[in-house]
Amino acid sequence: MMAPIAADDIRTALDAGHLWPALQPLVHLRSGRIAGFEMLARWTCPQRGVVSPIDFIDIAERGGVLDVLLLKLLDTVAASLRHWPPELRLAINLSPCQFLDGSLLDRLAAVMHQHGLPMSRLQLEITETVLVQDHERTLQTILAARQAGASLSLDDFGTGYSSLTRLQSYPFDEIKIDASFVRTMDQNPDSFRIVLAVAGLGQSLKMHVVAEGIETAEQLRFLRQHRCDIGQGYLFDKPISGRELIDSLRRYPCRPQADQRL
């Protein structure tokens, strides 16, 4: 029987290259062109096999290694990001504690600067939970991130605690419809109504709307019809390694005859 995962196991996996960044495409639903990639952590352990992020992200945060993990994976991706077409962005996920840590933004900027990249290439994704934290601190952090050049995305919208009043108080660039609603909207009337409501809300607030978890052509047609801007899901591609990136760019070019170097 394997021992429970510990923070030191995560550090060891990072050093050994067993914990690596996967990239999932974000695709413009109207044009079919690529908008960028979301960076996701993947762990293939020689002893444990594939370890789900559900099983190690919380441990990394409690053990004080989540920032180490994020910065290490960002450094790996940024080495190739500088060769992507310049309009492509990289979305990264931040926990509420990470986002509200005043020093993390500077450390993210340092990694980007090391690779000759502006912060405008980063999209910071945070969940609704951050909106119930200290309002003034949250707002100041959002404004600081935007001033640094990064864009802001409210992830998993509809699953947390935010209200319309809170959402209107913060200058997000986009909201993401949680995959659970997209996957079940053809069977669950509540999911269907939530998807419609969030799409309409995004349009009203002049925010881009991103739909996660798109798996079928029927879902894609519906989301296009209701003016969702960007999609993500297995219909387009699974999370891929850096070696597979060029194939994804060929399938979903960001512009005609895009420069597709790595």
Q: What is the pLDDT of residues 125-179, one digit of tens each?
A: 998 888 777 788 888 999 999 999 999 999 877 666 555 667 778 889 999 999 9
Quick one: tokens of 83?
């060769």
Q: What is the mean pLDDT of residues 80-101?
A: 91
Scan for tokens 């979903």, then name that residue.
Answer: 252
pLDDT by residue (tens digit) across 5-55? 999 999 999 999 999 999 999 999 989 899 999 999 999 999 999 999 999
Instruction: Name beta bridge partners: 209.
Output: 175
